[in-house]
Amino acid sequence: MNFLTEIVAFVVAIGVLVVVHEFGHYSVARMCGVKVLRFSVGFGKPLVRWVSKKTGVEWTISALPLGGYVKMLDERETEGTIPSEDLPRAFNRQPVLKRIAIVAAGPAANFLLAIALFAAVFAGGVTEPQAIVSTPAPESAAAHAGFEGGEQIVSLRDSQGGDTHAIRSWSDLRWKLLDASFDHRNIVLTAKTHDGTFDFPLTVSGITDADAEQDFMDKLGFTPGGGTLTVAGVEAGSAAQKSGLVAGDRLRAIDGRPIDSATRFIDYVKSHGGKPVTLVIERGDGNQARRDTVQIVPDVKRDASTGKDIGRIGAALANQLPTVDVRYGPFESLRLGVNRTWDISVYSLRMFGRMIVGEASLKNLSGPVTIADYAGKSARLGMTAFVSFLALVSISLGVLNLLPIPVLDGGHLLYYLVEAVTGKAVSDRWQLVLQRAGLVCIVALSMIALFNDLTRLIRF
């Protein structure tokens, strides 16, 4: 069933994104008076085909669904003679500004779609964990900033001054910290505690690009907290069962440290394989609730992914975090949609630039297998998650197509910008050479992305 969900979600996602991208080219070409011959979703042999009686455009759905194209009348690509009345409608005869507009319309449509999708998410509202911090790991940036656990972060600002940005949820905090981490900017977080509201200066200069690419929040020492950690189940014969833990027990502390995060609890247990740890648990409800102390020795197990020995107690955990409903008005939602699209676009470009110069890992490239995996996972999480996923991939598609690589929209834009500046078109010979070089680049990127997909899939 999960595989079927991934396939359906992937087809829907790719179908929507391709249609929107190509419709951008199609609509602007029609507005510019260019004759469109075919609008194809997919490549290869057409499976479904019909011709519009009104426009004469051939609409097709083809066998290979990974993309699409809009074919326009062009003297360079047409065999035979073009009727004289159609020559003014040929793409190659259009002024350079019109050609730039037609080519740029595809990526622009993807960005507009992302803005609309993000705006819909912000306007429709979403339930997210509150920005409450769990007890940070010792020596982490959060611990050095003074966080002890239980603080609710309400705003953020640069340490050098500037605007103060409100923090409404954990997701909001994550995006703000990602931006600061990527720029290595030190910031000040304002948080509410039981004793009042205080500032916590946070140093992120120690975060590397590799950390930012992975789980940088955990590296900084931030995990969602403020919730209740409950034992959901216990494996027969496990260390948890031998210690007397039962389903329904609420975990309050481990070795004297308050615990409200499954991530922190699991990390602590992993690092204490074969070593006794003391748990403070709470059992019962209401007036019947009581606290007990339980000592447990985590079993030593080999981690299949790392090959290292880790501690394991054999208990399933449920982490109930306090949540907040985040909802905005229509105009604020639109503004936030624009901002989120801009931030992700800039981040994507900068990350790609760092991969080119070797400052970031090529493992960040993903192919269709990873996209299908995340499409399925987001679809199972609900409509809001799937819509957000669509917006993210739409931005990636727009950014990718704007890269100045021949065979992509960005490569054609580069030709036309050179023509606009010099007044001379790039020669056919040079275009052919650059097209071949661009094709090599695309094939290389595709192979790296596919290799990364397979690595994630089978972990070799």
Q: What pLDDT digit, counting tens, does each position of 377-407 carry?
A: 777 778 888 898 899 889 989 998 998 888 8
Residue in the block written with tokens 């247990």:
269
pLDDT at 315 over 60: yes
Residue in the block written with tokens 């065999």:
79
pLDDT at 420 over 80: yes
CA–CA separation, 363 and 92 (whole Å)? 39
> How large a percentage of the chain has pLDDT more than 90?
32
Mean pLDDT of 410-416: 90
pLDDT at 460 over 50: no
Q: 183-205 burial string, b = 16+ CB within 10 Å, else e?
A: eeeebbbbbeeeeeeeebebebe
**Closest listed residue to residue 37, CA positions, set 73, 69, 75:** 73
Q: 230-241 burial string, b = 16+ CB within 10 Å, else e?
A: bbeebeeebbbb
Contact between residue 183 and residue 351 where contact means Cβ atoms under 8 Å apart:
no
Q: How confident is the model at residue 215 (pLDDT cuts 50, 70, 90)?
A: low
Task: Quickly list DSSP for 356-392.
Answer: HTTSS-GGG---HHHHHHHHHHHHHH-HHHHHHHHHH
**Closest listed residue to residue 371, CA positions, set 34, 66, 31:** 66
pLDDT at 35 over 60: yes
Residues 6+ apart with CB under 8 A from 297: 239, 243, 274, 275, 276, 277
Q: How confident is the model at residue 437 (pLDDT cuts 50, 70, 90)?
A: confident
Residues 6+ apart with CB under 8 A from 338: 115
Q: How many CA atoms lie within 13 A of 140 on its CB side?
A: 20
Q: Is 242 left (phi over 0), alpha (psi -120 to 50) or beta?
A: alpha
User: What pLDDT, in 10s, does the model give residues 187-208?
Assistant: 999 999 888 999 999 987 655 5
- Provide the mean pLDDT of the chain: 85
Residue in the block written with tokens 């194809």:
40
Residues 6+ apart with CB under 8 A from 47: 60, 61, 62, 63
Tokens read off for 302: 């080999």
Q: Is 378 exposed, middle or buried (0-12, 13-18, 19+ CB in 10 A)?
A: buried
Domains of the chain: 101-124+328-460 (no CATH), 141-220 (2.30.42), 228-320 (2.30.42.10)
Q: How confident is the model at residue 184 (pLDDT cuts 50, 70, 90)?
A: confident
Helix segments in 158-231, DSSP class H: 170-183, 209-213, 216-220
Q: How confident is the model at residue 453 (pLDDT cuts 50, 70, 90)?
A: low
Residues 6+ apart with CB under 8 A from 324: 127, 128, 129, 130, 168, 169
Residue 339 Cα distances to 32, 125, 169, 217, 344, angstroms: 30, 17, 17, 21, 9
pLDDT at 92 over 60: yes
User: What pLDDT, in 10s, does the model give residues 235-265?
Assistant: 999 999 999 899 989 999 999 888 888 888 8
Residue in the block written with tokens 């991934």:
6
Length of the chain: 460
Q: Return the active site residues.
A: 22
pLDDT at 106 over 90: yes
Q: How confident is the model at residue 107 (pLDDT cuts 50, 70, 90)?
A: very high
Q: 401-436 burial string, b = 16+ CB within 10 Å, else e?
A: bbbebbbbbbbbbbbbeeeeeeeeebeeeebeebee
Of the ranges 251-260, 325-334, 439-448, which one carries the lowest mean pLDDT score? 439-448
User: What pLDDT, in 10s, does the model give residues 161-183?
Assistant: 778 888 989 988 988 888 787 77
CA–CA separation, 428 and 275 (whole Å)? 72
CA–CA separation, 40 and 48 (whole Å)? 10
CA–CA separation, 115 and 395 (whole Å)? 9
User: What pLDDT, in 10s, does the model give residues 115-135?
Assistant: 999 999 999 888 888 999 988
Q: How would you list the strands of the sheet with 187-193, edge to edge?
A: 165-166, 152-158, 187-193, 196-202
CA–CA separation, 134 and 138 (whole Å)? 12
Contact between residue 389 and residue 13 where contact means Cβ atoms under 8 Å apart:
yes
Strand partners, 317: 231
